[in-house]
Amino acid sequence: MSNTIEKVKCLIIGSGPAGYTAAIYAARANMNPVLYQGIQPGGQLTTTNEVENFPGYVNGVTGPEMMVQLQEQAQRFGTDVRDGWVTKVDFSEPMHKVWINDTKELHCETVIISTGASAKYLGLPSEQHYLKMGGGVSACAVCDGFFYRNQEVVIVGAGDSACEEAHYLSKLCKKVTMLVRSEKFRASKIMEERVRKTENISILMNHDTVEVLGDEQMVTGVKALNKSTGTTIEIGATGFFVAIGHTPNTAIFKDSISLDETGYIKNIAGSSKTNIAGVFVAGDAADHVYRQAITAAGTGCMAALDAERYLAAKE
């Protein structure tokens, strides 16, 4: 490890809407923020072709383009944006220690964690192909459902989130086929009843997704296996939604900060504060409910303001 220790007033870990918004506010408050982009610079939005629900973009914007613009805005105000990712932290003392790429040691007065969360996918080669192509695979119905108005879609999942997303899609789409991999829902009874009572939602229990079908560019259907009979069926669809959960990117902090039972960082209600003074959280690393770019950006603002007030109180 390097013997060189760098002192940082405000360290921001992660570079999605939460991280860049925190950087904009921190830079404008003369906190000289240093932002490390992480393994996936720009976060989940870099895999999103079209973003049409972020205020200010009348004609929409691609996810990568939006992240470039946010980064440039943060840098315009003086944010030091760097490549690299955090490999170790020590929050046991007032001066928080963070190691980058196992080589560089930072001593930070404040830390803003905005590492986000990663959607879980089935892992099928065909699923990943059309996900990368931007051709009909999504893990966010609220984000992308609008593009499938009056079309037929398939959604995989059995929990409350899957039921919520299926119900949301039913208001936009001609037909929603829900594939439940077991013989019963994991969702609450009220959510299960809601989808069962929705006329244009067809539920196939005990079905596995075998393959996402398409023309190499766009999704055209889904092949599913009936595990009870061993037969396969093909379901015509232009969209394939995966609603089997998210994994917060917080493992590196598990021994240093309070997490909930699913790994999300706990924050003090109504703030971005964690259980460690001077350490704040923004975006999907703490949000398992909304998971939207606009809410992530809002909490990024909150984190920077909380960090600024924390530093002011120490003066």
Distance CA 45, CA 179 (A): 26
3-class state of residue 287 by DSSP: coil
Q: Is 143 a catalytic residue?
A: yes
Q: Is 140 a catalytic residue?
A: yes
Instruction: Tell me the DSSP string of 129-140.
Output: HHHHHTSSEES-
Confidence band, pLDDT 50/70/90 cuts, at residue 315: confident
**CATH of span 121-242:** 3.50.50.60
pLDDT of residue 314: 87
Distance CA 131, CA 125 (A): 10
Helices (H), the chain: 17-28, 63-76, 125-133, 141-144, 160-170, 189-196, 293-314
pLDDT in tens, 163-184: 999 999 999 999 999 999 999 9
Strands 232-236 and 219-226 come out as antiparallel
Q: Is 144 a catalytic residue?
A: yes
Where in the chain are all domains bearing CATH 3.50.50.60?
A: 5-118+246-314, 121-242
Which of the following is catalytic: 10, 108, 143, 173?
143
Look up the CATH architecture of domain 5-118+246-314: 3-Layer(bba) Sandwich (3.50)
Average pLDDT over residues 106-113: 98
pLDDT in tens, 46-100: 666 678 889 999 998 888 899 999 999 999 999 999 999 999 999 999 999 999 9
Q: What is the mean pLDDT of the chain?
A: 93
pLDDT of residue 134: 82
**Above pLDDT 90, what percent of the chain?**
83
Which of the following is catalytic: 140, 160, 208, 301?
140
